Amino acid sequence: MSSTMSIEDCVLAAFCAQFWLNFIYYHIVGLSEKFPDLYSTKRLFISPASLRIFNCLCKRL
């Protein structure tokens, strides 16, 4: 993010980032339930620790 962004734009960017991060995660989880041989969150997504950190950063911003 830019230091010249307004507070509203920063909050909106954080909400968007958190939304898409969780959307992609749960999409992969759903696909891994249907097709366990093809999709896995361990292979196709960031680590669970990183997911928690990014969600925490988005919430605190």
Predicted confidence (pLDDT) per residue in 7-61, tens digit = 899 889 889 999 999 999 999 999 989 998 888 888 888 888 888 898 898 888 7
Instruction: Write down the pTM of the prediction.
Output: 0.75
| Residue 1: pLDDT over 60 | no
Q: Which residues contact 13 (CB under 8 A, 6 or more apart)?
A: 1, 5
Distance of alpha carbon 44 from alpha carbon 6, whole angstroms: 34
Distance of alpha carbon 42 from alpha carbon 5, whole angstroms: 35
Distance of alpha carbon 46 from alpha carbon 38, whole angstroms: 17
Q: Which residues contact 15 (CB under 8 A, 6 or more apart)?
A: 58
Domains of the chain by residue range: 23-61
